[in-house]
């Protein structure tokens, strides 16, 4: 299959991948191109910029979660009808599992999907030294996928001096530069970029960035690189989901979705629907009760600590959720959703805000990163997973709990280190790990089955 595509990657985090990706997406959209974007890895926030601000489809691709062939098939299925696909890398180009394995890295995804790479270099404070830096990445590129370079945070004058030197010594296309302007930066916090809903005039800012990039970067060269991508062929992959169409009497799963809860994978929700469930969104901040007739609850991740006061004030919603859980309604809660189910959240200023109270413990800010990275999870009770089976996910949180649970075991894929996690039982799965359901569809299947059993009861 012929898919015009490219990846925006970098030697390290903070090099400008997201702003460059957003600028290109906006540019392609304004050109009338049917564009789709992908984010390498488990990140939730970058795709929000693509979807909510620029208004284009975006999804995650992760070779650790789905392996090589399933990842390639997922890409082909989503990108097949687009004029151009843009993949945004994660961390440094070669940084995969634990920072030492290729699996899960931007490069692994580029290699699997045969996608040409444009390397964004943060060149501020650098001169000729940028040449051996680029040269090292080219030498390490065994598949010869790096096809172009953009020099970020550089002046026009310096760029015009350096560009011919780089192209002469390294035989690589330098497709442009981007000036160092504070107004073009996107603010960050401990879990990554600030969410687009928190940033004033973000649409206007990205429009300005897009206009700037059209003056300093050769869009023509970038399009040529994307069009030169090799044809993609996929092996037939067994699709384990049943492709059911939810019927009128399908069980309804209430999914939290608002300012505080916005970290979820579209693939997870799609899989629940394919097993026969309907999705009904609700806001723990603004709504007074769960959606009428629901028979399951999914509390996704997000930033409940930023909206702790608003969540706490909504006593009607907190009590409704607590009563439904006490009644046996199946619930899955991940990270921020797990925090919300606690007796209270203690914020950075040591203020305690009452929450749902389904977990009789407090959640508190530690001031440091508690757990980070990919994990595989094995359940001891076999309620959501079969005996000896695992599901893949990741953790990234600064808050911790007085009661993290010990009904599952998290295993780090590189070191094999393990630790207890998750409060799990017949009708509940509550913990800090974010799960990727397609890595073990049985989890989604059993969740839906539990909602059917609850409704019948």
CA separation for the pair 358, 319 (Å, rounded): 10
* Contact status, residue 378 vs residue 409, Cβ threshold 8 Å: yes
Pairing mode, strands 359-365 and 342-346: parallel
Q: Token pair 């990657």 is at which residue?
A: 9
Instruction: State whether the Cα torsion 137-193-55-41 is positive or negative.
Output: positive
Let me know: does 193 contact 45? Beta carbons within 8 Å: yes
Closest CA to 339 of 390, 381, 385, 395: 395
Contact 158, 129 (CB under 8 A): no
Q: How far apart are CA 71 and CA 253, in angstroms?
A: 27
Instruction: Give me the catalytic one of 335, 363, 408, 421.
Output: 335
| 154 phi/psi in degrees, rounded to 5 | -135, 145
Give CA–CA dist 388/219, Å, rounded: 51
Q: Are 321 and 295 in contact (CB under 8 A)?
A: no
Check if 335 is active-site: yes
Q: Is 74 helix (H, G, I), strand (E, B) or coil?
A: helix
Q: Calculate the dihedral angle through the C-alpha atoms of 377, 399, 50, 437, rounding to the nearest 10 degrees.
A: 20
* Vertex 119: Cα angle to 113 and 123 (nearest 5): 165
Q: How far is CA 345 from CA 65, 86, 257, 359, 421, in A?
A: 31, 39, 19, 11, 19
CA-CA-CA-CA dihedral for 191, 196, 200, 201, to nearest 10: 140
- Please give the Cα distance from 307 to 257 (Å, whole number): 13
**Residue 128 dihedral angles phi and psi, to the nearest 5°:** -60, -20
Dihedral angle of Cα 222, 227, 228, 230, to the nearest 10 degrees: 130
| Residues with active-site annotation | 335
């Amino acid at each position: 299959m012929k898919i015009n595509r490219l990846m925006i990657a970098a030697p390290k985090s903070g090099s400008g991948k997201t702003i460059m990706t957003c600028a290109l997406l906006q540019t392609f959209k304004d050109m009338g191109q049917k564009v789709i974007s992908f984010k390498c890895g488990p990140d939730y926030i970058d795709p929000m910029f693509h979807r909510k601000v620029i208004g284009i489809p975006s999804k995650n691709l992760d070779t650790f979660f789905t392996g090589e062939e399933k990842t390639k098939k997922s890409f082909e299925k989503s990108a097949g009808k687009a004029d151009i696909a843009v993949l945004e890398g994660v961390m440094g180009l070669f940084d995969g599992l634990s920072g030492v394995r290729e699996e899960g890295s931007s490069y692994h995804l580029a290699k699997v999907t045969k996608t040409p790479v444009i390397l964004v270099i943060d060149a501020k404070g650098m001169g000729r030294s940028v040449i051996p830096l680029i040269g090292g990445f080219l030498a390490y590129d065994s598949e010869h996928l790096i096809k172009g370079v953009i020099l970020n945070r550089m002046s026009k004058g310096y760029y015009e001096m350096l560009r011919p030197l780089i192209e002469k010594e390294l035989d690589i296309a330098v497709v442009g530069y981007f000036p160092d302007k504070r107004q073009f930066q996107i603010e960050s916090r401990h879990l990554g970029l600030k969410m687009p809903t928190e940033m004033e005039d973000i649409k206007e800012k990205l429009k300005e960035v897009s206009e700037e990039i059209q003056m300093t970067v050769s869009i023509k060269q970038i399009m040529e690189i994307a069009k030169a991508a090799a044809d993609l062929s996929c092996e037939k992959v067994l699709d384990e989901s049943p492709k059911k169409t939810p019927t009128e009497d399908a069980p309804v799963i209430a999914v939290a979705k608002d300012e505080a809860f916005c970290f979820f994978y579209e693939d997870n929700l799609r899989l629940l629907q394919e097993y026969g469930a309907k999705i009904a969104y609700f806001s723990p901040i603004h709504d007074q009760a769960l959606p009428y007739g629901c028979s399951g609850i999914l509390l996704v991740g997000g930033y409940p600590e930023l909206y702790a006061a608003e969540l706490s004030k909504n006593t009607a919603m907190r009590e409704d959720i607590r009563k439904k859980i006490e009644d046996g309604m199946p619930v899955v809660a991940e990270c921020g959703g797990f925090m919300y189910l606690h007796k209270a959240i203690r914020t950075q200023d040591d203020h305690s805000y009452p929450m749902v109270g389904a977990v009789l413990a407090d959640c508190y800010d530690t001031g440091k990163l508690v757990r980070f990275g990919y994990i595989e999870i094995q359940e001891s009770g076999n309620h959501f997973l079969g005996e000896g089976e695992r599901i893949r996910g990741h953790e990234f949180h600064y808050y911790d709990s007085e009661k993290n649970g010990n009904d599952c075991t998290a295993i780090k894929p590189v070191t094999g280190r393990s630790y207890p996690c998750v409060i799990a039982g017949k009708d509940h799965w509550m913990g800090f790990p974010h799960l990727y359901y397609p890595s073990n569809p049985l989890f989604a299947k059993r969740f839906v089955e539990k909602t059917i059993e609850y409704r019948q009861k």
